[in-house]
Amino acid sequence: MEGGGIDKLTKSFDTVIAAMKKKADRLIQQRNESAKLGPYEAAITETLATITENGIVPRIWAHDFTVWKPNPAEISNRLGWLHTVEIMQKVLPNTLEVVDEFREAGFTDALLLGMGGSSLAPQVFMKTFGGREGYLNLSVLDTVDPNSVFAQSKRLQPSKTLYIVSTKSGSTVETLSLMKYFYDQEAFRLGKEATGKQFVAITDPGSPLAQTADRYHFRAKFLSDPSIGGRYSALSYFGLVPAALLGIDLARLLDEALTAMRACDSTAKPTENPAAWLGVILGELAKAGRDKVTLICSPKISSFGDWVEQLIAESTGKEGKGLLPVVGEPVGPPEVYGNDRLFVYMRLEGDTAHDSAVSMLEAAGQPVFRLELHDTYELGRQFFVWEMAVAIAGYVIGINPFDQPNVESAKALARKNVDDYKSRGPLPAATPDLLSGDVLVYGKVQGGSVGEALKNFLNQSEARSYVAIQAYLEPTSETDKVLSALRRRIRDHYKIATTVGYGPRYLHSTGQLHKGDAGRGLFVQITAQDTRDLHIPDDVGSPISSITFSVLKQAEALGDQQALISGGRRFIRFHLANIDRDLSRLNETLVW
């Protein structure tokens, strides 16, 4: 290369570095101006000093497992996320080339089949950015509700739909059940010879899904770094392949993530490190009793809260400790909140939707941490900042943020229920503790009606309690509205935090926290008789089926019920005969 070319390249490189430093400096400045934490500031300052003294951030970058625990199990092999951005930048040209091949093959739609960490980042990209003209229309299916599965099956056009099967382990039962169903549907429409070319796998090397992809000649296979945990995989293939299908500018997104990495690297002082600052705030306020991390997001980026929910809940809810992420709860006036909240306000520049409500919370003395985003691409920064922050919060509260010891309990019980169904027939029909109209109520029921049973159950709440509504129902906008109204009524009357999760998807998000935290939750499970059912093939392309989606959903609901009760959690279940009528009725009974 000629000398002039070298000078030009050097100047270009210097310009990029200067721009990145400017972005990192602005990230640090935002950190310094973003928090109103009142009496907790002294403890936060002290812990930041301790982190500096003990070299915690450099040790994390050095993959030092002793930051969290004295042995490396479930830590040393879970720190790949620290370097994901740089790795993905290197493979970006090839990734985009493969995605362009999908477009050239004539696909117009993509359906991602996944749960938890495999589906939440794609949902953020789908809901925040939408799709660009000329790219694929992406949908995410993360439920085994038969009505939802059927609706997607009827909506999608054969030969025009690409199925993205996404699971780190390659053995997630819900994801593989969906894959087998849609493979069978496409094979019936197109023939087995062509069906494999409708499918793409995102998984770890050597997983059962990777082997299936080879056996059935999937169109493509993306093998992720196995040292990245599912909830830390947003900036890996699991998040970026779906983002590329939407036409998102991945180079720009990764550049934003790299900016966050530079601001949080081993040379940054913890007092100037946005992730260290956030992580210490999360940890110290949790230790002070403010363990309900309540996210208030600008509407356009509200789905980011769902991703944060899994990251926090599955990382911190264990050993009798935990931070409860509260996402999607309607914003209320200060008087409806207790003294166990930390509010995180994620605001897009120019969006004033929640400004007044958040200012009122600050004026009332509630601790508030503000995060300002200039545009949606800055979510690339936030993915990394939150990952690092939660890792540091784990250090502060004294747990390993990379394992999930209680997730397996519900899974094991669900598997047993499925095996029992296959060998002995229908799942056991428990005797209800109350029949009110045609609503069946299970649990330690007090009262002679649905309303009395629910209110008496909720009356067990006390300071720092929370209510988790677990809805094994078809996720629809109308059901969303009723559940939102229900949680608002509970929150406003009892002054306690509320969460809503659709089953079984929440098992891959908040399920760990429900069984692993300090046990302050009250769990309201809502089930219903499905109006249709669909068979799950026993194997890919097999005409034989031993179980249906409805049975699988029931088995998982029952398994989680058993796990919660065995763990000493307070639990009640309402089984509805008519979802629309009975769910509204359940909501309307909460009158004081």
How high is the pLDDT of residue 32?
43
Write out the residue range of the structural domain in which residue 469 sits: 407-588
The alpha carbon of 289 is separated from its chain's Cα centroid by a whole number of angstroms, namely 24
How many Å apart are CA 504 and CA 510, to the nearest integer?
11
Closest CA to 50 of 361, 396, 362: 396
How high is the pLDDT of residue 3?
38
How high is the pLDDT of residue 408?
82
For residues 157 and 88, state if they share a domain.
yes
For residues 432 and 570, state if they share a domain.
yes
For residues 441 and 517, state if they share a domain.
yes
- Among positive and negative, which fits the CA dihedral 580, 583, 589, 592? negative
Q: Per the domain annotation, does 73 fall within a domain? A: no
How many Å apart are CA 419 and CA 542, to the nearest integer?
19
pTM of the complete model:
0.93
pLDDT tens string, the chain, 592 residues long: the values are: 333 433 443 444 444 445 555 555 555 555 444 788 999 999 999 999 999 999 999 999 999 999 999 999 999 999 999 999 999 999 999 999 999 999 999 999 999 999 999 999 999 999 999 878 999 999 999 999 999 999 999 999 989 999 999 999 999 999 999 999 999 999 998 888 899 999 999 999 999 999 999 999 999 999 999 999 999 999 999 999 999 999 999 999 999 999 999 999 999 998 899 999 999 999 999 999 999 999 999 999 999 999 999 999 999 999 999 999 999 999 999 999 999 999 999 999 999 999 999 999 999 999 999 999 999 999 999 999 999 999 999 999 999 999 999 888 888 899 999 999 999 888 888 899 999 989 999 999 999 999 999 999 999 999 999 999 999 999 999 999 999 999 999 999 999 999 999 999 999 999 999 999 999 999 999 999 999 999 999 999 899 999 999 999 999 999 999 999 999 999 999 999 999 999 999 999 888 7
Any bridge partners for residue 128, and if so which?
none
Q: Per the domain annotation, does 256 fall within a domain? A: no
How high is the pLDDT of residue 562?
95
- Number of other CB atoms surrounding residue 377 within 10 Å: 18
Cis peptide before 543 (omega within 30 of 0): no
For residues 336 and 458, state if they share a domain.
no
Q: Per the domain annotation, does 68 fall within a domain? A: no
* Pairs from 453-460 (Cβ < 8 Å, separation ≥ 24): 453/572, 454/524, 454/572, 454/574, 454/586, 454/589, 454/590, 455/589, 455/590, 455/592, 457/522, 457/524, 457/570, 457/572, 458/490, 458/494, 458/522, 460/522, 460/570
For residues 390 and 411, state if they share a domain.
no
For residues 392 and 425, state if they share a domain.
no
How high is the pLDDT of residue 52?
96
Mind spelling out the 3-state secondary structure of 436-488? ECCEEEEECCCCCCHHHHHHHHHCCCCCCCEEEEEECCCCCHHHHHHHHHHHH
Q: Are 312 and 285 in contact (CB under 8 A)?
A: no
Angle at 192 between CA 186 and CA 195, to 5 degrees: 50
Q: Per the domain annotation, does 25 fall within a domain? A: no
Q: In what order do the strands lie in the sheet with 161-166?
A: 137-141, 109-113, 161-166, 199-203, 220-223
The DSSP call for residue 318 is B
For residues 463 and 534, state if they share a domain.
yes
For residues 232 and 300, state if they share a domain.
no
Angle at 149 between CA 306 and CA 581, to 5 degrees: 80
Domain count for the chain, please give it. 3
SS3 category, 209: helix
Closest CA to 361 of 346, 341, 381: 341
Residue with tokens 């999908």: 102
For residues 352 and 391, state if they share a domain.
yes
Q: Per the domain annotation, does 30 fall within a domain? A: no
Q: Per the domain annotation, does 254 fall within a domain? A: no
Of the residues 353, 368, 397, the one at which a domain ends: 397
Of the residues 397, 423, 453, the one at which a domain ends: 397
Q: Per the domain annotation, does 10 fall within a domain? A: no
How high is the pLDDT of residue 10?
43
How high is the pLDDT of residue 21?
53
Distances (CA, A) of 456 to 229, 452, 461, 514: 40, 6, 10, 21
How many Å apart are CA 405 and CA 497, to the nearest integer?
24
For residues 530 and 511, state if they share a domain.
yes
For residues 295 and 435, state if they share a domain.
no
CATH code, domain carrying 54? 3.40.50.10490
Residue with tokens 């996210």: 295
How many Å apart are CA 193 and CA 179, to the nearest integer?
17
- Among positive and negative, which fits the CA dihedral 267, 272, 278, 280? positive
Phi/psi at 385 (5° precision): -60, -45
How many Å apart are CA 336 and CA 351, to the nearest integer?
24
90-99 burial code (b ≥16 CB/10 A, e <16): eeeeebeebb
For residues 413 and 385, state if they share a domain.
no
Q: Per the domain annotation, does 7 fall within a domain? A: no
